[in-house]
Structure 1
Amino acid sequence: MLLRLPTSVSEAQEGLAEGAVPIGGATLVWATWQRDGFPQQAMSLREVPEANLVEPEALGAAVVLHRVDERVPEVLRRAAASVGTGAVRRTATVGGNIVGSTLRCLLPAALVLGARATVLDAERCYEAELAEVVAKRPLMLALRWRTPVASGYRKLPTEAGGPPPLVVATAVHADEEDRLLLRVAVRDGYDVLSEATAGHSGAERAVAALERTGLGALPPAARAVVREQVVAVLDPLSR
Structure 2
Amino acid sequence: MLLRLPTSVSEARECLTEGAVPVGGATLVWATWQRDGFPERAVSFRELPEANVIGRQTLGAAVVLSRIDDRVPDVLRLAAATVGTGAVRRTATVGGNLVGSTLRCLLPAALVLHARATVLESGGVHETDLAEVVAKRPVLLSLHWRTPIASAYRKLPAEAGGPPPLVVASALHADDEAGERLQVAVRDGYDVFCGGTTCDTDAEQSLHALRHTALGDLPAAAWETVGPQVTALVEARAGR
Specify the TM-score bucket, using the shorter chain as the normaliser: over 0.9
Aligned-pair CA distance for 1:199: 1.2
- For 1:104-158, what per-residue CA distance to the aligned partner results, in whole angstroms no more than 9, with x for missing partners? 0000000000000000001110101001001100000000000000000000001
Partner of 2:148: 148
Is 1:110 the counterpart of 2:93? The answer is: no
Aligned-pair CA distance for 1:70: 0.5
Identity, in percent, stands at 68
1:1-239 matches, within 5 Å, as: 1-176=1-176, 179-200=179-200, 202-239=202-239
Task: Work out whether residues 53 and 60 of structure 2, in 8 Å CA contact, stay in contact via their aligned partners in 1.
Answer: yes
Q: Which one-letter code corresponds to 2:229 in the other structure?
A: Q
How many residues align structurally?
Answer: 239
Task: Work out whether residues 151 and 171 of structure 2, in 8 Å CA contact, stay in contact via their aligned partners in 1.
Answer: yes
Counterpart Cα distance in 1 of 2:6 and 2:20? 11
Counterpart Cα distance in 1 of 2:140 and 2:202? 36
- For 1:78-105, what per-residue CA distance to the aligned partner results, in whole angstroms no more than 9, with x for missing partners? 0000000000000000000000000000
Question: Helix, strand or coil: the match of 1:83?
Answer: coil
Task: Work out whether residues 167 and 188 of structure 1, in 8 Å CA contact, stay in contact via their aligned partners in 2.
Answer: yes
* TM-score between the two structures when normalised by the length of structure 2: 0.97
Counterpart Cα distance in 1 of 2:62 and 2:228? 33
Aligned-pair CA distance for 1:68: 0.2
Dislocated runs of 4+, deviation >4 Å: none
Aligned-pair CA distance for 1:201: 5.1
- For 1:196-227, what per-residue CA distance to the aligned partner results, in whole angstroms no more than 9, with x for missing partners? 11112521111001111221211111012111
Task: Work out whether residues 21 and 42 of structure 2, in 8 Å CA contact, stay in contact via their aligned partners in 1.
Answer: yes
Question: Helix, strand or coil: the match of 2:183?
Answer: strand
Q: Which one-letter code corresponds to 1:235 in the other structure?
A: E
